[in-house]
Amino acid sequence: MIEEIPASQLDTARFIAEQVAAIREAVGEGTAINALSGGVDSSVVTMLGHLALGDRLRTVIIDNGLMRDGELERTVALFGALGVPVELIPAQEAFFAALKGVRDPEAKREAITQTFYRDVFGRIVRESGAQVLLQGTILTDVDETVAGIKRQHNVFAQLGIDPEATFGYRILEPLIRLRKDGVRLVGEALGLPAEVFNRMPFPGPALAARVIGEVTPERIAIVRRATAVVERLLAGCGAFQYLAILHEDHVTGMREGRRAFGQQIEVRCWDSVDAREATPTELPWATLRRLADQILAEVPEVVSVTYNLAPKPPSTIEAV
């Protein structure tokens, strides 16, 4: 049982000092490594590790081919401006090879986890000689994994898996007692820009979580373009999270006066405090119409656009 630190009781300065000390103690005279995704959790861990270890921390960002348009480049530039060097590792082929033919959502998550920890990042960690891996697991990840709702990619000890035996390195999780609201406060206290500490949640499997059925470079390209439209049009709408999902079902449509059997994009936009419960945002009709028009104009493979109406539960935030 992990003891939660609620955001309301969090002393960020003290929390940062304690975690920096804990990282220094765990790493000793050695080195640590971490993988940054650009999300708030891994960004905060990167800053904590940087404060604790300076250049004895190596931070990599893995290009798994599943990220949104331009986001890896923006993250590298942003941390560069903060004086934190981040290494961009191209690994698209390994991930698409592992995902080929995989359709079940849990099998997709597992393929990504295995490719990440055992193949791509695992190899980098082993070759780096680092003794410690810093990781941004938060308490909600643990809860949902233990409850069997969703398999998070970064929870091992709670499932009885020994990462040192399985993967060859020790994992340190400085944020394990926090929920997302607490992590955001620590991020702000660490001097991260608001676009990072207030960043919208984005799933570990990235755009692979936004594709129902098989994940291929072509299908990721479609959902990436739809995602860019949704994020552009809904930026500043105040919602907790918004996303585009590419369905596997094809539906009848018309293009240039002829019958066309095309694809469907589902838009979800959520009001929520902490993702445990959520309701669809009651977007104005002008916005809903613009979402459909822009997706249909910019993604010609698509002939149908829908908006999610179901709350969580019984829905979940993501579809995969």
Q: Which is nearer to a copy of itself, 148 or 160 (CB)?
A: 148
SS3 state of residue 147: coil
Distances in whole angstroms, Cα of residue 69 to Cα of each of 23, 74, 151, 152, 231: 33, 10, 26, 23, 11
Q: Which is nearer to a copy of itself, 45 or 296 (CB)?
A: 296
Least distance in angstroms from the C-beta of 253 to a copy of itself? 5
Q: Which residues lie below 8 Å from residue 69, measured CB to CB, with a gap of 6+?
A: 224, 225, 227, 228
> Quick one: 100 or 250, whose CB is closer to a copy of itself?
250
**Residue 264 β-bridge partners:** 304
Using CA atoms, how far apart are residues 311 and 314, in angstroms rounded to an integer?
7
The residue (of 178 and 267) whose beta carbon lies closer to a copy of itself is 267
Give whichever of 31 and 306 is closer to a copy of itself, judged by the CB atom.
306
Rule CB under 8 A: which residues touch a copy of itself? 105, 147-150, 212-213, 247-255, 257-262, 266-267, 280, 282, 285, 288-289, 291-292, 296, 303-316, 318-320
The token pair that represents 183 in the structure block: 């992590």
Contact 37, 9 (CB under 8 A): no
Min dist CB 53 to a copy of itself, Å, is 38
CA distance 4 to 261: 50
CB of 282 vs a copy of itself, minimal distance in Å: 4
CB of 14 to a copy of itself, least distance (A): 35
Smallest gap, in angstroms, from Cβ of residue 61 to a copy of itself? Answer: 27
